Amino acid sequence: MPPLNDEAIVLRTTDFSETSMVVTFFTRENGKVTCLAKGARRLKNPFDTSLDAMNICRILYYPKIGDVLQLVTEAKLTERFRVDSTTAIYAGFHVVQLLNHFTENFNPQSALFDLTKNVLKDILLLDSICRTSSLDNPPEKLSRCLFHYELRLMSLSGLAPSFHECVGCSEKVEIRRGARRVAFGMRDGGVLCPRCRPGRMNVVSLSPEALGAFQLLASADERYWRRLQLSQKTLGEIRGLWNQYLAYQMERPVPILHWLKR
Residues that bind Zn ion (CB under 5 A): 166, 168-169, 193, 196
Residue with smaller CB distance to Zn ion, 37 or 166: 166
Smallest distance, Å, CB 85 to Zn ion? 44
Residue with smaller CB distance to Zn ion, 195 or 226: 195
Distance CA 118, CA 96 (A): 13
Smallest distance, Å, CB 194 to Zn ion? 8
Smallest distance, Å, CB 196 to Zn ion? 3
Residue with smaller CB distance to Zn ion, 169 or 175: 169
Residue with smaller CB distance to Zn ion, 135 or 179: 179
Phi, psi of 256 (to 5 degrees): -65, -20
Smallest distance, Å, CB 166 to Zn ion? 3
Smallest distance, Å, CB 173 to Zn ion? 8
Smallest distance, Å, CB 176 to Zn ion? 16
Q: Which amino acid is at 143?
A: S
Distance CA 203, CA 219 (A): 24
Residue with smaller CB distance to Zn ion, 138 or 185: 185
Q: Which amino acid is at 262?
A: R
Give the up-direction half-sphere exposure of residue 180: CA atoms within 13 A in the CB hemisphere.
4
CB atoms inside a 10 Å sphere around CB 239: 18
Residues contacting residue 181 through CB under 8 Å, at least 6 positions apart: 205, 206, 207, 208
Sign of dihedral through CA atoms 74, 80, 81, 82? positive
Q: Which amino acid is at 10?
A: V
CB 61 within 8 A of CB 70: yes
Distance CA 114, CA 119 (A): 9
Residue with smaller CB distance to Zn ion, 44 or 172: 172
